[in-house]
Amino acid sequence: MSNARTVDVGGETPYTIAIGPGLLSDGTALAGHVRGRHVLLVSDSIVAPLYAGMVREALHAARPDLAIGTFILPAGEESKTLAHFGHAIEALATLGATRDACVIALGGGVVGDLAGFAAACWMRGVDCVQVPTTLLSMVDSSVGGKTAVDIPQGKNLVGAFHPPRAVFADTEVLATLPPRELRAGLAEVIKYGAIRDARFFQWLEQEREALLAMDGEALALAIAASCEHKAETVARDPLEKGERALLNFGHTFGHAIETEQGYGGLGNNNLNHGEAVAVGMVLAARLSSGLGMAPATDTDRLETLLAGYGLPTRIPAGLAPQALLARMRLDKKNLAGRLRLVLWRGLGQADVVPDVDESRVLALLSG
Ligand code: GLY
């Protein structure tokens, strides 16, 4: 791990995020987090053919005694279901995994969320090591212990908080990431600038070309800065009782779009998670400006930056405003049946706003 940057996540269950090239083949580092003898490697049908063999071999070389099972999901958000969760649990049972087993999640957010949830539930909780292979999962979903599956009524409605034992973000794998997936990850990177760090936002404005060209140093800096923002937040508020909710800027609108259009997949043009969050951030920022909370110029700057990174900023055609609003009512942040949204006060400052007037939201969704 000599070339790796590290970010420490503090709090009651501390762990380290390692960021750098070549981590997937560092069996000693990976195996160092396996306490027992059983490993279930969870991946998907795109990532597994590229990297699962390498990880298995690296683990075996470091720990020849390990019994390593593999569970492969069909790639795509459509796989984040209770049915596939059940199959992952069956794979742990078939492996004979004991309480000291380790689930290794090798893939993007879908794999990380489902594998993490299986680890949270098997024998009431076994270890999970997150090995994210997309930019989005490196900067967001692999860190902080949120695990879940989707149901038709909404995203991530069934899940658990289960912090990983470690996170290994191998930046070399980003070379095989499709450009659309890279941009989706950059939406979550931009989110940290928008809600917490105006200087980082400005840096993202300056480094757009380098990041879109996948410049290794710029990407590593963006990943490390994003992980530091996430680590600080989740260490203070692991269970989202307060400030962690700010990380959901754009997500209530975004999840409503994702659920209403049908989850983005390989065989359709539906917005993927990062794209939906990009649209959601613009909507949240616009609502904030409309409510007099944030300067309209900052909202315009956010929209310009997202568009400059090739991200969508408008609700896709054909989604009914009332239907989107109905989806938003099922958001996990809502309390007592009232909309509770993350809005902003301008660059670098977000706030949770309770009891948002639904008619303002509907007007925005209709506009
Ligand atoms: N993705 C937001 C969070 O982990 O809290």
The whole model's pTM is what? Answer: 0.94
What's the average model confidence in pLDDT over 179-199?
97
**Residue 337 has what pLDDT?**
87
One domain, residues 84 and 221:
no
CA neighbor of 187 nearest in space, from 311, 76, 270, 300: 311
One domain, residues 134 and 217:
no
What's the average model confidence in pLDDT over 36-58?
98
Domain termination residue (choose one: 160, 176, 192): 176
One domain, residues 267 and 293:
yes
Look at residue 35 and tell me whether its pLDDT is greater than 70.
Answer: yes
Longest CA pairwise span in the chain (Å): 62
**Residue 43 has what pLDDT?**
98
Q: How wide is the angle at C-alpha 264 spanned by C-alphas 261 and 265, nearest 5°?
A: 135
Question: Cα 115 to the chain's mean position, in Å?
Answer: 13
Q: At what angle do helices 251-261 and 321-328 cross, to 10 degrees?
A: 120
| Cβ-contact 88, 122 below 8 angstroms | no
Question: Predicted confidence band at 3 (pLDDT cuts at 50, 70, 90)?
Answer: confident
What's the average model confidence in pLDDT over 260-272?
78
Count the neighbouring beta carbons within 10 Å of the beta carbon of residue 92. Answer: 23
**Residue 336 has what pLDDT?**
85
One domain, residues 60 and 197:
no
Domain that holds residue 19: 5-176
One domain, residues 158 and 14:
yes
Look at residue 107 and tell me whether its pLDDT is greater than 80.
Answer: yes
**Residue 265 has what pLDDT?**
58
Residue nearest ligand 1's atom 2 by CA:
247
Q: What are the residues whose beta carbons fall under 8 Å from the beta carbon of 5, sequence distance 6 or more?
A: 18, 19, 20, 220, 224
CA neighbor of 45 nearest in space, from 69, 75, 70, 71: 75
Look at residue 2 and tell me whether its pLDDT is greater than 90.
Answer: no
Question: Cα 265 to the chain's mean position, in Å?
Answer: 16
One domain, residues 33 and 49:
yes
One domain, residues 97 and 218:
no
DSSP label at 103?
A: E
Domain termination residue (choose one: 176, 199, 221): 176
**Residue 332 has what pLDDT?**
87
Query: Using CB atoms within 10 A of its CB, is residue 41 exposed (0-12), middle (13-18) or buried (19+)?
Result: buried
One domain, residues 131 and 243:
no
Domain harbouring 109, CATH code: 3.40.50.1970
Look at residue 57 and tell me whether its pLDDT is greater than 90.
Answer: yes
The more confidently predicted of residues 155 and 123 is 123
One domain, residues 252 and 352:
yes
Atom of ligand 1 nearest to the CA of 240: 5
One domain, residues 48 and 90:
yes
Look at residue 220 and tell me whether its pLDDT is greater than 80.
Answer: yes
One domain, residues 252 and 199:
yes
Q: What three-state secondary structure class fits 271?
A: coil
One-letter amino acid for residue 65 of the chain? D
**Per-residue model confidence as pLDDT tens digits over 282-339:** 999 999 999 999 999 999 999 999 999 999 999 999 999 999 999 999 988 898 889 9
Residue found by looking up tokens 């075996």 in the block: 60
Domain termination residue (choose one: 130, 154, 176): 176
Q: What are the residues whose beta carbons fall under 8 Å from the beta carbon of 53, sequence distance 6 or more?
A: none
One domain, residues 53 and 37:
yes
What's the average model confidence in pLDDT over 212-223?
95
Look at the chain and report how many structural domains it folds into: 2
Look at residue 205 and tell me whether its pLDDT is greater than 60.
Answer: yes
CA neighbor of 234 nearest in space, from 223, 245, 225: 245
- The per-residue pLDDT of the chain, averaged, comes to 96
Give the binding-site residues of ligand 1, using a 6 Å CB cut-off.
Answer: 140, 144, 146, 244, 247-248
Span from the CA of 170 to the centroid of ligand 1 (angstroms): 21
Distance CA 91, CA 30 (A): 21
Look at residue 277 and tell me whether its pLDDT is greater than 60.
Answer: yes
Query: Using CB atoms within 10 A of its CB, is residue 65 exposed (0-12), middle (13-18) or buried (19+)?
Result: exposed
The torsion of the CA quartet 193, 195, 199, 204, rounded to 10 degrees, works out to 20
**Residue 169 has what pLDDT?**
97
Mutation probe of ligand 1 site: the residue of 244, 246, 273 with most atoms within 8 A of C-beta: 244
Domain harbouring 333, CATH code: 1.20.1090.10
Question: Predicted confidence band at 266 (pLDDT cuts at 50, 70, 90)?
Answer: low
Question: Predicted confidence band at 18 (pLDDT cuts at 50, 70, 90)?
Answer: very high
Query: Using CB atoms within 10 A of its CB, is residue 131 exposed (0-12), middle (13-18) or buried (19+)?
Result: buried
Atom of ligand 1 nearest to the CA of 245: 5
**Per-residue model confidence as pLDDT tens digits over 228-256:** 999 999 999 999 999 999 999 999 999 99
**114: which 2 tokens?**
């489902």
Active site residues: 124, 146, 188, 230, 240, 244, 248, 251, 255, 273
Distance CA 147, CA 159 (A): 5
Q: What are the residues whose beta carbons fall under 8 Å from the beta carbon of 55, sequence distance 6 or more?
A: 24, 25, 30, 41, 104, 106, 131
Look at residue 84 and tell me whether its pLDDT is greater than 90.
Answer: yes
One-letter amino acid for residue 69 of the chain? G
